[in-house]
Every structure is written in structure tokens, then in C-alpha cells.
Amino acid sequence: MGIASVFVGITVLMMVVGLAVNPFFLFVALPFGGSAYLMWYQASGKLAERMRRQAAAGQFNAAGRQRRAPGGFGPRASRAGFSARERARRARQNRRRAKRGTKTVSSRLSAAEARSILGVESSASQSEIKTAYRQQAKQHHPDTDGGNEARFKKISKAYETLSE
């Protein structure tokens, strides 16, 4: 509020000088007046109140952007109110969700299978499991010479199973 009042003072001073000396100062006073208003609007809490009302009314999407009615003119106008990029992004998300939904419980490894993949005994501690995982991962990582991506994925899944 203090900075807003300083900007109001500068605006009033420039308006007086503009009327008395040179009208150019009236144009210079406009940005100061606008800035003072915006600062007051934010500091008084009216901006936060407006945002809360709009959020409660559902006028914002999940990204915090204001929702717009579908249609209109210009480059953003497209079917269903979404741009081509937004439609493509939503389609990718839906495909990922569908893939996740098709995984069955049988795709998870049992603890015995995971131990055999990592080559550890059933009485192995977490530190032994971690050491075995790291050794296997170094050996089979796809970025190393002779690495095997499928084997690396199995090793990672086995470690995930045993560390849960």
C-alpha cells in the first residue's frame, strides 16, 4: 500500500505539472496512475478475492489458466475449443492411461522370481540386494558395451519388487 500511495503522489504531481507547465506530463502520469491502481488492487485483497470467486465458479482449468468458451475467431479457434497441440497432448495422456490400465497383476514378479533374477538368497538383507542390483545393472545397462535393455528392465523390476 505504501508504494501504491507513492505512485499516486507522483501521478498527482505530474498531473498538476502537466496542467500548469506542459501537457506532455499528463501522458507521463498515465503509467504511474495505472501502476498505482494495480498495486492498490493487489494489496487491498480485491485481486485475491476475485481469483477465489472465479476458482469457485470453475472458471479456471487444472493449469490455472482461465477457461474460455469453445469456438471464436483467430488461430486459437478450433473444434471443442482446444488447439491442435492441446488435443494431441490429451490423446497422448489417454493412450498412457489406457496402457497403464491394461497391466495385469500377473505382470508383477514374485519375490522368489525377483531374488533369482538378482541372484540373491531369500535371507539377503536390503544392502545385499542393493549391491547385487548395482552389479547386475552395471553389467547389463543398455549404454554399456554388451548391454541388454530387456535384461536391464527385468533387473530393475526385480529390484523394485524386493525394495517395496
Neighbours of 95 (CB within 10 A): 10
Q: How confident is the model at residue 148 (pLDDT cuts 50, 70, 90)?
A: confident
Rounded to 5 degrees, what are φ and ψ at 145? -65, 130
Q: What is the length of the chain?
A: 164
Q: What is the pLDDT of residue 130?
A: 92
Q: pLDDT of 26-74, one tens digit each?
A: 888 888 888 888 888 888 888 788 777 777 766 666 566 666 555 555 5
pTM: 0.37
Side-chain half-sphere CA neighbours of 28 within 13 A? 13
What number is the average pLDDT over the span 61-90? 62
Whole-number Å distance between alpha carbons of 69 and 119: 59
- pLDDT recorded at residue 132: 92
Cell numbers of 37, please?
491502481
Please state the φ and ψ torsions of residue 66, each to the nearest 5 degrees.
-70, 135
Lowest mean pLDDT among 13-27, 50-64, 138-152: 50-64
| 144-155 burial code (b ≥16 CB/10 A, e <16) | eeeeeeebbebb
The 10s digit of each residue's pLDDT in 93-130 is: 888 888 776 544 446 788 889 999 999 998 888 999 99
